[in-house]
Structure 1
Amino acid sequence: MKIRILGSAAGGGFPQWNCNCANCDGLRKGSIDAVARTQSSIAVSENGSDWLLVNASPDILAQIRANPALQPARAVRDSGICAVLLMDAQIDHVTGLLMLRERATPLPLYATAQVLADLSQALPITRVLGHYCGIDARPIAIDGAALTIPPLHATTFLPVPLRSKAPPYSPHRDDPHPGDNIGLTIRNGTSGESLFYAPGLGEITPQVEAAMRRADVLLVDGTCWSDDEMLAMGLSRKTARMMGHLAQSGPGGMIEVLDRMPARRKILIHINNSNPILREDAPQRAVLAAHGIEVAVDGMEIDL
């Protein structure tokens, strides 16, 4: 089974369209050692032709162009995208759905009841797509049961509820519900190996800790290096934790968390444009390397 990272950046991508921080400005000018990244999404396949998208980034068209396997050309009009699974209802994870509107049949869409409610009312993407290809909504339960998603019959997906906020446009933004945001354990039933995916992870609950300990590969939140990163740079009035992200450095940070995990690979994804780890030669990258932690890049493949 292959897991392909389509996009590895946080919302806005890298460089962000309106940002002139040292990272974004340096990338545009070619003065730093870094590569551009699109907004976070992954794809999962057993046969290399049929792919499940996990989140649908606003950059989905560029990601399809960069990954020809998503366009297998078995017919005059064709796509390797067999279904989409959403981790939450955030704009940077769902608005790519609108770019799939030319599909000939309703798009199978797996999401929790809370996410489906937000996408039918607060941000009515599913209602809009009802005028085009249509949506085949398939609610995900968060009761501890795994599910399979055809045609990936040898793969199981186990949703893990995360403590996080719903999007700003959700009617219960300040009243969190289980299912607003999930992590996902993806298991290859043939090899027995698994990956835990959580691009937005603000708190390590006992359930999340257990899921991370069981996984062979971790693909987790790499948004900010320090909690006050965006405050210090004048980019936001919020800390990383206030935005629902656990920073890498500092007491209780993601580095400390990953140090206690037995996984064979530990990879950071959903990297904000402000994060110094985007620079290949940054001292923060050396710190990560010393702890055996990788930094995701668009096009990276993981075999399970």
Structure 2
Amino acid sequence: MSEHVPVLLERVLALFEPALSMPDAVLVDCTLGLGGHADALLAAHPALVLVGLDRDPAALERSRSRLAAHGDRVHLVHAVYDELPAVLSELGIPAVAGVLMDLGVSSMQLDVAARGFAYSQDAPLDMRMDPTAELTAAEVLNTYPPGELVRILREYGEERFAKRIVERVVRERARSPFTSSGRLVELLYEAVPAASRRTGGHPAKRTFQALRIEVNGELAALGAALPAALAALRVGGRIVVESYQSLEDRLVKQALTALAKSRTPDGVPVELPGHGPQLRLLTRGAEQADEQEIEKNPRAASVRLRAAERILEAA
């Protein structure tokens, strides 16, 4: 397995510094993964308490070992991040100083071929972030109606050739069900026109992304998690989100900018009490990794980072 390198680590540390230096600071890492960001933040803030969530039990076990040196400051929970309110309630934590979301598929999931996330290796069509969940990529590919498959590829993969791909999938699955990623990749090479392959990256990239998002309910979970995470922030608390594709980044942008606006009705000459912006945006648009970081860590190439600070109590 390749060495895990946390993306934009120095920037994440700098953005959280004021919030996590507050007394009784609690940070929720909603996507703990292999614990790279969490370890660095705990080391930088000796009084910080971490609540680490992950839907992948294997990732939790790896992080449990990595973070053991921080003792009882660490609370790890097997949960999807849209379960955040229930997790905080169970732990008796009313508000937090920081929320970190490092979205998408983790390094460990990509590097373990048997998980089926990487189109570069032939593996079972699984793609479950939580192996205890029921739905797999094979089931989606073999049982979903053609129209639903087209929708998923278009919406979640932004795949221009969705209809063409699905026609071939339906024809092939009638001969025998899909079980391996290699067979799907072969089909995608045939279905995606050569001109697009030359300019649009690997022909499997968008379809694999779409299947992964559907299997794990990623956008629905993020859509529910963002408002819950923002509501959990105390005044002065900060949220940092790293997205790796445009659909995630769009949801993050919408959630942050909506609360960074005044709710005083147009035409009212003064700000109504309690109607001012709840958030202050800490980034101008989405920040990206520089060439130096991308050279060291190619997975940083697609990152889009957004951050905000709560400046008014949640309404």
TM superposition score category, shorter chain reference: 0.3 to 0.5
Higher strand fraction (1 or 2): 1
Radius of gyration: which is bigger? 2
Higher helix fraction (1 or 2): 2
TM, length-normalised to structure 2: 0.37
TM, length-normalised to structure 1: 0.38
